[in-house]
Amino acid sequence: VIVSRNVKLPVDPLARPVLTVPDANHAVISLLSFFEVPESAPSQGVHPSAIVHPGASLGIHVAIGAHVSVDDRCVIGDNVILHPGVRLYAGIHVGANTIIHANTVIRAAARIGSSCLLHQNVSIGADGFGFYPAPDRRSLLKFPHVGTVVIEDEVEIGANSCVDRAKFGETRIGAGTKIDNLCQIAHNVRIGRGCVIAANCGISGSVTIGNAVRMGGGVGVADHLTIGDGAQVGAMSGVMNNIPAGERWAGVPADEASKALRQVIAVRKLIEKSPKKPSPRP
């Protein structure tokens, strides 16, 4: 059993051996690396079925798998791995040591940093969701999106997540940020460094998220809001107001966590005190 030093252990009737370490999670990360089986990856070079435009630039030791498509003016750094079915539109830059898994699509001349990890079916650079009623009020006009996406170094994006291109300028994800599966990052969102965003989060357009923010699963954030550095947002929260740095928020609509919990308790007490309706006759 691997245990952190600050944990007080009960007497173990099985007398199992205990390994005491400064931090159990750090120790387990190191331990599991010995048992991790490397996934199969494309061999170095370009697979015969891949299509690489003559105007693309490839670094050394690049591995491009089956049916990959790399368009004109793409720049692929050293040691990049593109798994089968990856599609890079024109003008994409991919930094060194980045791994992009199968069927990921990258558009809008996006910039992907070094040592990033994009899991399967990630979508980068699709148009943002922007429409406006036409003059006749019988149809919708689509806003052109002419911006791009910038993903800094050491970012990880989970399977089936989407990062939309900006209407103007850029959508940006800061270095070291980790995004789980099935997340939606809308146009012109700016996410800081070292954030953790759990699965099924939806971040609306032009939201600014500071550094080291933690968001639980299923959080929804309304457009044009700011979430300050170090803030924490509880799972399934609906954020409709700015969140100051360092605060913990929860609930729908989200509020400071202790206040949100008091509201829940108050509602439960109201229900408990309300008179019970008589049961209907059979």
Active site residues per annotation: 187
Dist. CA 4–CA 144, nearest whole Å:
54
HEC string for 216-253: CCCCEECCCCEECCCCEECCCCEECCCECCCCEEECCC
Residue in 53, 47, 49, 111 with CA at minimum distance from that of residue 81: 47
CB 211 within 8 A of CB 196: no
Beta bridge partners of residue 227, listed in sequence order:
209, 243
d(CA 10, CA 7): 10
Q: Which helix (H) or strand (E) holds 27?
A: helix 24-35
